[in-house]
Structure 1
């Protein structure tokens, strides 16, 4: 069992289930997006160290219908591949009782991406596509069974044969996340096992055909951080690929938990990178191989462009249905509660926003899901700090303003550095409002209640704006400390 000493993600913040394909000297990365729209962020890199967000695969309601936006529903793990000049993305929309796989196609990674073609008879999650000559194979996790496979027409998503059982892993829980690739005369099947918590791991098998039979690696799992005293935990759900220089690499998800046991990760599952060496035709994960350094994810947005930056996303609906950019900023208008936010990517940060609520209720909010959120709310003459933890909503400090007045508010995350037995959490969240007398802190809240270990699920923190009524946001600045 291998552990690597990676500490900095290649793509930070809620970017789980990474999948990479290469075309020439350029690499393309896709990640899960769950309940958020637009769906499946897409990135491009030429060095594997710096990734540019170029768009999303799901950009319209015809591809991804509106939903309730409940936490950790929606679009699960994708696979991104390129074949005969076409990009293919296969994934699962789990909304519904029996989730089938959906395939989208595009000639350019930036789109436009096609309407989804939907399988019939491939119920499960975590689909993969691979080609052996003209034959294409769909491989997926059949829940409660293991890894299944069938030949498929990738343009119509029609299965060409009855599914077969392929491999059930090494006996660890939840064999899932399959990817198949070829190196030399061997076909390799990479899967995740152990669940996406601390026992997460990567195992591999090989065979002479993409249809198997597959023999497990004697050194499985080839990657796991379970029971290791390292900063990055929950490592798994990997994609192995050949680099432009002929070397090989592995991308995988991981988390950065902090605080007292069991540790709390708050930014979701992130994308990491390590090297691969080959011993006796088996992949061995090595590190260091890529010099990834901490990235400054600070941004300033005045919302005066033609459209929202690609960083902004909403649960259940596309942002443009209620959030419109314009000459004066971002106008939010909805008769039901809506949220638009950007992924939090740093562990320590400060964000300040200026907004005015002309009707109803608005808030600057830090959100993990619909039942776990801290916010500075504005309604009528009140500005109040609130927390929502499960079914309990609590009001903290507040001030009085003139109705409709523009207010500047701040949310900040500062890591906890408590002493032994002081039960430190991952961070402290400060909610503040700016007045003529300066910044007035309304609440300091324990960040563990906005962590996956408390809330459950598969996503990470989002920072943004909630509305029920009408509000105007003129600026937001987010700065890594």
Structure 2
């Protein structure tokens, strides 16, 4: 596989408060440190491989080193619904091992999943399912005598099993050692969730997300002398929120803290970058940001301006000549290995035998970008190159034989937007999708979306743009859910070969 970073790191930085350290659909970050190295994992929902994991030495430049969930024995398909799958998680290092606890909402009911590995890049164990832990957002922590605590958002059925609950855990057996009990429930804002538990300076701190993961999102904290509480809340909660502020990054929350190499503290958290007219549309999903943590009278305080984030190129070219796919490649509800194969000509993608259309995709990492797929077709084969939010919200350009067409799926409605005839030539042909700033942005009285999506093809080197589409319909505000845009390919008939894929980041 040729994996060329087209854009190198430029000597430009921007404040972490407005620039994600891991851009694109990478929500619910969880972080730990081992020596001089930081490791971070995020939610992945219905996409597989699941739970991407990253490494950094400075908290602002991160490299993906793999995915935690790489085998179907770790991540059952379940219902496969959009925004199902892997929810909020916790990554920790204890007694020489990495631990990862998460929830698969597409195979829900049996309890949280606990995995372990000697190396952050894996391979990770098959999960141990923890009975009696119906809910989401599990956290794992150990006190000084080795007692392990599991804290999560309980979904009942009993009163003491609903809300923010906790129990001592035998992590080796995956068994609760006591019945769940309620701990601090937050300040009264909606949907207290995402608990994380830490020891610092002789106190135990319980950090929660509150207010829902939309514009009212916030981070609150309480403290106590024991990991089991009781906990007293910070007198000025929430300690982080952008609600009702004119900040370019909104919905900040779901934070996880880490002690840094130099003895300071930092936090990673999620946020979104809405664009366009009211209500604002975010299309990349929830992204990962970093902030410093200061301590004021024994309480953590967010310093969003502590870190400067270098502008790092995210462009790449892949010719699929390696024996394995880069960890950036994912599929909604499918295992890429089940419908792809490496060939001398490129990557073969097969049509599913079950009637669905499996998609090989990669996350969109910016607002202004272009992607080009060089495709080999013959006979009755057909390809779809698409920009996707979920099964019901996508724009695609399709090619079969001599015909190319643009198709839009918005909710239950599917429409052919444009068609063209081509003169097939030997060798691959190229399909292109690009996202650019809306040409109507800033004009008073004009209802503009976050961007304009263009779809076209190249014939004999000449670009033909077939359609220009409003980006609002591929946004979370329209589609709902918890994910962001991906760009990918599918065989809608027979098998296709992708000779080359180019992603060019422009801003």
TM-score, L = length of structure 2:
0.92
Match of 1:292, SS state, is strand
What's the offset of the Cα at 1:465? 0.4
Pairs aligned (count): 478
CA contact (8 A) 1:93 1:99 kept: no
Partner of 2:376: 356
Find 1:421's aligned residue among 426, 445, 456. Answer: 445
Displacement of 1:219 in angstroms is 1.1
Counterpart for residue 470 of structure 1: 495
Name the residue aligned to 1:170. Answer: 187
Task: Please list the CA deviations of residues 416-437 of structure 1 after superposition, one character each: whole Å capped at 9, or x if unmatched.
Answer: 2241221111100000111237
Unaligned runs of 5+ in 2: 1-14, 157-161
Residue from 198, 206, 213 that aligns with 1:189: 206
1:394-425, CA deviations, whole angstroms, 9 ceiling, x for partnerless residues?
A: 11121123579732111000012241221111
**Pairwise CA RMSD:** 1.5
User: Is 1:444–2:465 an aligned residue pair?
Assistant: no
Structure 1 unaligned regions, length at least 5: none
Q: 1:68 and 1:379, CA in 2 relative to 1: closer, same or farther beyond 3 A?
A: farther
Equivalent residue for 1:386? 407
Partner of 2:306: 289
Q: Are positions 1:275 and 2:292 aligned together? A: yes
**Alpha-carbon shift at residue 65 of structure 1 (Å):** 2.3
Map 1:192-211 onto structure 2 (within 5 A).
Answer: 192-211=209-228
Distance in 1 (alpha carbons) for counterparts of 2:419 and 2:73:
43
Work out the CA distance in 1 between the residues paired with 2:476 and 2:504.
23
TM-score (norm 1): 0.97
Matching residue of 1:457: 481
Query: Larger strand proportion, structure 1 or 2?
Result: 1
Counterpart CA distance in 2 for 1:245 and 1:344 is 34
Q: Give secondary structure in 2 for the equivalent of 1:449.
A: helix
1:109 aligned residue = 120
Q: Are residue 396 (structure 1) and residue 417 (structure 2) matched?
A: yes
**Contact 1:387–1:394 under 8 Å retained in 2:** yes
Instruction: Give the deviation of 1:380 after TM superposition.
Output: 3.2
Separation in structure 1 between the aligned mates of residue 502 and residue 177 of structure 2, nearest angstrom: 52
Q: Which residue of 2 aligns with 1:319?
A: 336
Instruction: State whether residues 382 and 400 of structure 1, in contact with CA within 8 Å, keep that contact through their aligned partners in structure 2.
Output: yes
Q: Secondary structure at the match of 1:320?
A: helix
Query: How far apart, in 2, do the equivalents of 1:68 and 1:187 lie?
Result: 38
Structure 1's 48 and 426: CA in aligned 2 closer, same or farther, altered over 3 A? same
Query: CA shift at 1:101, angstroms?
Result: 0.4
> Using the alignment, how far apart are the partners of 1:109 and 1:287 within structure 2?
27
Change in 2 beyond 3 A, CA 1:343/1:302: same
CA separation of 1:403 and 1:434: change in aligned 2, threshold 3 A: closer
* CA displacement, residues 97-145 of structure 1 (integer Å, 9 cap, x when unaligned): 5251000000000111001000111110000000012100000011483
1:241 counterpart residue number: 258
Structure-to-structure mapping, 1:23-62, within 5 angstroms:
23-62=34-73
* Alpha-carbon distance in structure 2 between the residues aligned to 1:357 and 1:386: 19
State the alpha-carbon separation in 2 of the partners of residues 380 and 158 from structure 1: 57
